[in-house]
Structure 1
Amino acid sequence: MAAKPIVAIVGRPNVGKSTFFNRLLGERAAIVQDEPGTTRDRLYGEVSWRGRTFTIVDTGGLETSVDSSSDEPDPIRRMVREQAEQAIREADLIVFMIDVKTGPTPSDYEIADLLRRTNKPTILAVNKADSPQREYEAVEFYSLGMGDPIPVSAYHGMGITPLLDRVVELLPPEEEEEEEETGPVVRIAIVGRPNVGKSRLLNAILGQERAIVSDVPGTTRDPVDTEIQWGDQRIVLIDTAGIRRRGKVESGIEQYSVFRTLRAIGRSDVVLLLIDAQEGLTAQDEHIAGYVLEEYKGLVLVVNKWDLVEKDENTANEYVAHLRERMPFVDWAPVRFISAKYSQGIPGLVETALKIARERERRITTAALNRLLRDAVAAHQPPSKPGKWLKFYYVTQADVKPPTFVFFVNDPKQVQFGYKRYLENRIREAYGFEGTPIRMYFRSRQET
């Protein structure tokens, strides 16, 4: 199960990186969903172009030694640089953005030297080339030794098509799914903030008197995966212990060191999101859960270090209620309390993940779904515009992993978010699907 390639936009401050990033997500290339009720981080987005889908990530301005006025760099600037360098290390391809108005600067030369040492494919994007004269001036940047400069104007949307064509050309080849000759594999990713116990959980799972089969190489910049046999089920554990704390650079989730989390989620079937029982839920935890939802992966909310919490008979229920209140967009995700340190709750956690993997492959017959739809509509009529009633014709399950349902109606635009949630809840009440997102499409009968 391959992760999407990652493209990082880097360059010194104020060259237009964020404008370019926003331009891509505002163009028809953007496939990022905008579902209400989801905690989202806008530092990355998914772009589809000419049949390839990749993750685009914005970074902070990369300040160099020539930008510093003292021998002691500002700690915030140093953190921004470290994060940008992390982005460069983790990316599959780099868009090096520069400003045509300034011409090549000493900082541009220093960044070019840094990028050359990575041996990563790099595209030189000369921004703010919004006139024929400035497009001509882009040739000056051949002196950076980074190949052919591509003149663009992120603000006006000029030059975006040839740049994206070049991105797709340089992306790594698409990975093909390996044939599972010895049975299906469930891939479980362990994710979360630093110091919540990810590595300890990995070790606790491996220590449950289960035979380790092998170490399985992941993608080139991922940690080594661990394959185990759990009863009669093969499992690949994807660890993300390398994620670093973001410090005080920006609010929200770690900005650029989140790459490994994105990769792990993309390659997984089920995600174990660890939450520190003592620290409680953080905005970063909510963002990671949002990533899981966007990728339509299975999810378990794992409250670790439960042994350190003073509790009575109501503590667990109150904790679950708090998580549901803060993250209603993943209210289908089970909550499990564990102590990785003392290996408490580990077998049950693994069994929960395997159950979710099975739920993601569940299929419901069209006849059963249409009985459910008929009863749901009869019990609660959908909101409709005056004079034009919203009619549901039928529903069918189109796919699994995730479970995907297609509803045929007379006017898809009339289906409101609240009614979608109502239908999803009716499906879950009847058929379970615990721990997995459900994808729902609403089409007119004329659509194919």
Structure 2
Amino acid sequence: MFTLAIVGRPNVGKSTLFNRLVGKRLALVDDQPGVTRDLREGEARLMDLRFVAMDTPGLEEADDASIQGRMRRQTEKAVDMADACLFVVDARSGLAPADHIFAEILRKRARKVILAANKAESVAAELGASEAYALGLGEPIPISGEHALGMRELRDALAPWIEAYEAEQAEAEAEAAEMDSEFLPDLEEENFDPDQPEPPEATRRPLQIAVIGRPNAGKSTLVNAILGEERQLTGPEAGVTRDAIGFTLDWGGRKVKIFDTAGMRRKARIDDRVEKMSVADGLRAVRFAEVIVALLDAGAPFEQQDLRLIDLAAREGRAVVVAVNKWDLVEDRQETLRTLKEELDRLLPQIRGVPLITLSAETGQGIGRLREAIFRARDVWATRISTGKLNRWLRSVIDHHPPPAVSGRRLKIRYATQIRSRPPTFVLFSSRPDEIPDSYIRYLINNLRADFNMPGTPIRMQMRGGDNPYVDENTRS
């Protein structure tokens, strides 16, 4: 699909325009410059046009080793990847020296360039928009990403390029099909089964994974290692990532979408408005993910904030994998691993048996084991137990350790059923559900986890009043 990179210096409104084109708030937006630090892609729609829009960090003059310099390299990468660039300037404030520098960069590197003067909704912005002629990139299109002004003109400028691109793609596909028909043998009839049903939608949907952790734990480095390329900005500074950005890929034969999230600190320590927005974006990623990878720093594992984040994922009912990064820097690995496992079970009894994977995002060590742990955690998270098996198990554990007596009367649990998976959720029917102690419910959950091989996944168990609701009144004893 045709790709359009939106580029320009900080705070000219690139992310606002990007959100307008993709039709939803994917990128963080704030008056503070430099909020966007990574490349973000989305399927865009501009009237009848369909294309991929790419939001980029602001172009700034800076040393290559600085965070601004690394952000610039991310943008230059987007320029090289894109079929065209939309160079956005600020009509309200007029041209800046950096605009001229980056116009020269685009002339040398970009395939095609459209010049847009954003924030042109006021009469006062007309002068700034006319100044953009001086960049030598053709006639600037006055637009307002915030107020949707100038979208028709932008569509008309893009349309010929997208139509030419689609025509080239169709021609290339036709040539490839012609070559296939000439050089490839016919498929044998027995390889085709017309009665084979389409796989269900659930199997075609990418597995949603979110990587969470404290600032500077190495989340972006890990995501880059999984992707096999440097898509996320990384560096020694804490808090480099700000958006929860998702990347779709085929990972070991399984389609996944992995979200890198901003480092999360305690709310009391967050004063910056943009950081609060970043953390909120990360929390949304947690709520929509299926598997959470909680990334810890081997040099300081199980800080209070790490435990809070893992507990949050468990309370949200997500499958959890704990990964310990920077393992290549650990000296006594065997003793350290033993200590980590003991601490994990002691500190997080609510998800006993959660997978613990050691890795180095920098070297790629342990990435394969992480992948297998994620896939296994997702399958366990989706466990379903038949009602017959569940009630045979229930009778067995109750016979071994009956519920306690309350006020001289022993509590009875008569029936169990699973009402949903993801996470596994069970309902147990009892004559006095409110009197069953939490300790006995924990006993049931721990045995259920062990007997049906569900390590680490959150298990929810509800107690309800009444007998077996699926047995007819006349058959009850």
Task: Return the TM-score normalized by structure 1.
Answer: 0.53
Specify the alignment match of 2:398 in structure 1: 377
* Counterpart pick for 1:333 among 354, 357, 374: 354
* Partner Cα distance (1:427, 1:275) in 2: 29
How far 1:429 sits from its partner (Å)? 1.2
Which digits, 9 at most, give the CA deviation of each residue in 1:211-247, with x for residues without a partner?
xxxxxxxxxx953310011233110001103657878
State how far apart, in whole Å, the 1-side matches of 2:268 and 2:328 are.
27
2:349 corresponds to 1:299 = no
SS at match of 1:202: helix
Q: Is the 8 A contact 2:424 2:459 kept in 1?
A: yes
C-alpha displacement of 1:386: 2.4
Q: Does 1:399 align with 2:416?
A: no
In the alignment, structure 1 residue 203 sits paired with structure 2 residue 224: yes
Distance 1:424 1:200, change over 3 A: same
Residue aligning to 2:101: none
Alignment partner of 1:311 out of 325, 332, 347? 332
Instruction: From the two aligned structures, give the one with the greater helix fraction.
Output: 2
Distance (whole Å) between structure 2 residues aligned to residue 436 and residue 349 of structure 1:
16
Which residue type is aligned with residue 188 of structure 1?
A: I
- 1:1-42 CA deviation, whole Å, 9 max, x = no partner? xxxx9xxxxxxxxxxxxxxxxxxxxxxxxxxxxxxxxxxxxx
| Cα separation, 1, equivalents of 2:219 and 2:429 | 43
Contact 2:419/2:425 (<8 A) preserved: yes
How many Å apart are 1:350 and its aligned residue?
1.2
CA distance in 2, matches of 1:328, 1:181: 31
CA displacement, residues 346-377 of structure 1 (integer Å, 9 cap, x when unaligned)? 01101111111111222111111111111101
Q: What amino acid is aligned across from residue 442 of structure 2 in structure 1? A: R
- Contact kept, 8 Å, 2:212 with 2:263, in 1: the verdict is no
Do residues 435 (structure 1) and 456 (structure 2) align?
A: yes
1:363 correspondence with 2:390: no
Contact 1:193 1:245 in 2 (8 A): no
Q: Amino acid of the residue matched to residue 295 of structure 2?
A: L
Deviation (angstroms), 1:249: 5.9
Structure whose alpha-carbon radius of gyration is higher: 2
Decide whether aligned partners of structure 1 residues 336 and 264 sit closer, same or farther in structure 2, where only a CA change above 3 A counts: same
Whether the 8 Å CA contact 2:296–2:324 is kept in 1: the answer is yes
Deviations 1:284-307 (A, max 9, x none): 111111211111000011111111
CA distance in 2, matches of 1:319, 1:189: 22
Output the CA distance in 2 between the equivalents of 1:277 and 1:181: 36
Cα distance, 1:261 vs structure 2 = 2.7
**CA distance, structure 2, for counterparts of residue 181 and residue 303 of structure 1:** 30
1:21-67 Cα shifts (integer Å, max 9, x gaps): xxxxxxxxxxxxxxxxxxxxxxxxxxxxxxxxxxxxxxxxxxxxxxx
Amino acid in structure 1 at the alignment position of 2:450:
E
1:231 is matched with: 252
**Which segment drifts farther, 287-296 or 307-316?**
307-316
The match for 2:211 is 190
Residues 227 and 234 in structure 1, CA contact (< 8 A), matched pair in contact too = yes
User: Any conservation in 2 of the 1:189–1:237 contact (CA below 8 Å)?
Assistant: yes
| 2:431 paired residue number | 410
Q: Equivalences for 1:204-353 in 2 at 5 Å?
A: 204-207=225-228, 223-241=244-262, 248=269, 258-353=279-374
| SS of equivalent residue, structure 2 residue 363 | coil
Matches within 5 A, 1:52-67: none
User: What amino acid maps onto 2:310 in structure 1?
Assistant: A
Q: CA deviation at 1:415?
A: 1.5
- Whether the 8 Å contact between 2:214 and 2:263 is mirrored in structure 1 is no
Instruction: Tell me by how many angstroms 1:328 deviates.
Output: 2.4
Amino acid at match of 2:288: R
Query: Which runs of structure 2 are paired with 1:37-116 in the superposition (5 Å)?
Result: none
Q: Distance in 1 between matches of 2:447 and 2:413?
A: 15
CA 1:207–1:276 in structure 2 vs 1: closer, same or farther (change >3 Å)?
A: same
Once residues 445 and 195 of structure 1 are traced to their aligned partners in structure 2, the CA distance between those partners, rounded to angstroms, is: 52
Structure 1: how far apart are the matches of 2:343 and 2:203?
42
- Structure 1 residues 247 and 363, CA, compared in 2 at 3 Å: closer, same or farther? closer
1:200 CA displacement:
0.6
Partner secondary structure for residue 314 of structure 1: helix
Given that residues 243 and 260 in structure 1 are in contact (C-alpha distance below 8 angstroms), is that contact kept between their aligned partners in structure 2?
A: no
Identity %: 38
Quote the offset at 1:258 in angstroms. 2.9
Query: Structure 1 residues 331, 264: CA separation in 2 closer, same or farther (over 3 Å shift)?
Result: same
Secondary structure of the residue that 1:442 maps to in structure 2? strand
Aligned amino acid, residue 368 of structure 2? P
Q: CA deviation at 1:381?
A: 1.4
Question: What secondary structure sits across from 1:236 in the alignment?
Answer: strand
Instruction: Specify the code of the residue in structure 1 equivalent to 2:449.
Output: R
Give TM-score, length-normalised by structure 2. Answer: 0.50
Q: RCO greater where, 1 or 2, for CA within 8 Å and sep 6 or more? A: 1
How many angstroms does 1:417 deviate by? Answer: 1.1
Q: 1:245 to 1:404 in 2, by over 3 A?
A: closer
Distance 2:345 2:453 in 1: 18
RMSD: 2.9
Structure 2 gaps of 5+ residues are 1-24, 26-145, 147-199, 230-241, 470-477
What SS does the aligned partner of 1:234 have?
A: strand
Distance of 1:181 and 1:447 partners within structure 2? 32
Between the aligned partners of 1:181 and 1:439, the Cα distance in structure 2 is 23
